[in-house]
Homo-oligomer: A and B are copies of this chain.
């Protein structure tokens, strides 16, 4: 692991997720931008001193030299560092699990995606919400035609934690997220809008064609947007509305997706992730429960407990890790991956996310609103 040191947020989630199914072991890392802190942290995690590195360069040098080198490396650092770290790792022959957004700039994303394709290295991107079993269930139901052709998609990701200027009061996570150099050009849209965009595409399979956007910055002194409204047009005629916000008081982590088709709709709300609401044309609204008999294989392989025993965020993240393991192992064994190792967010999905963010910012910065076609989408 690179990043995810003392006090960092997402690194710890990765570690729990990796441990949960017992398929991954954390054996090496460069955990902190400050090498000393990183080594100290490594010790707290029971990492052998000779695999605790000061920087990602040292990490690469050290691991490449070992017979028992790591199987894959998770990148849990701020956005702008994803590109150099991932590039160096891929070039050194490592499989990579990279946090979203894939990179801070579109140029970097294109480069990285190309590099992944050329080298054939595995690059998974941790779009968390695609780890949830009921999101897979929704995807399967759309794909097999349960709701017919899609008409409109409503997706939103409201958060409240940045409703005040906490970046000016020592909050590390907020500090780099509001710094264009470290975060990229998209504020809320890059940080969480990219999750919403991926989730919508993941479930519907639709390709975005055009978008027009309106970004706003509400907290004084903030350099990036903290609220984004986007209207979308998908290939084939479906429309979409996306809202991301870091200042939406009352929303802890309110990811919500609603997909409306010709013959039914599907709704999923992240704060009640064990349910999927299915409303067919006949008016009989159904509550589909995680763990139930009548679920798809794709949902079943991503659940560990019977219905009624809530699974959540860590289990979803663990599903991504289990999927990455399966995909990597399958490739090494020269076989097709099983269900768990399919439908994973990969480098191309990461690239599409960055392209989306760029198009949103471009559209919003135009003097008049403009329908933009994100590249690579």
Prevailing SS type, chain A contact patch = loop
- The answer to whether B304 and A293 have CB atoms under 8 Å apart is no
User: Which residues of chain A from 250 to 264 have a CB within 8 Å of any chain B CB?
Assistant: 250-254, 258, 260-264
Could you tell me the distance in whole angstroms from the C-beta of A100 to the nearest C-beta in chain B? 15
- The answer to whether A12 and B212 have CB atoms under 8 Å apart is no
Instruction: Count how many chain A residues have C-beta atoms less than 8 Å from C-beta atoms of the other chain.
Output: 87
Could you tell me the distance in whole angstroms from the C-beta of A21 to the nearest C-beta in chain B? 7
- The answer to whether A307 and B253 have CB atoms under 8 Å apart is yes
Cβ of A176 < 8 Å from any Cβ of B?
no
Question: Which B residue sits closest to A230, measured CB to CB?
Answer: B231
> What is the bound-complex CA distance between A305 and B10, given in angstroms?
9
Q: Quick one: given A16-B304, A239-B229, are A249 and B280 in contact (CB under 8 Å)?
A: yes
Contact residues in B for A163 (Cβ distance below 8 Å): 262, 281
Q: Quick one: given A163-B281, A369-B370, are A314 and B308 in contact (CB under 8 Å)?
A: no
Q: Which of these, B285, B311, B370, contacts A368 with CB under 8 Å?
A: B370
Question: Which B residue sits closest to A277, measured CB to CB?
Answer: B250
> What is the bound-complex CA distance between A324 and B349, given in angstroms?
42
* Chain A contact residues, CB within 8 Å of chain B: 9, 12-13, 15-16, 19-22, 45-46, 147, 151-152, 154, 156, 159-161, 163-164, 212, 214, 216, 218, 227, 229, 231, 233, 237, 239, 241, 243, 245, 247-254, 258, 260-265, 267, 270-274, 277, 279-289, 291-294, 304-315, 368-371
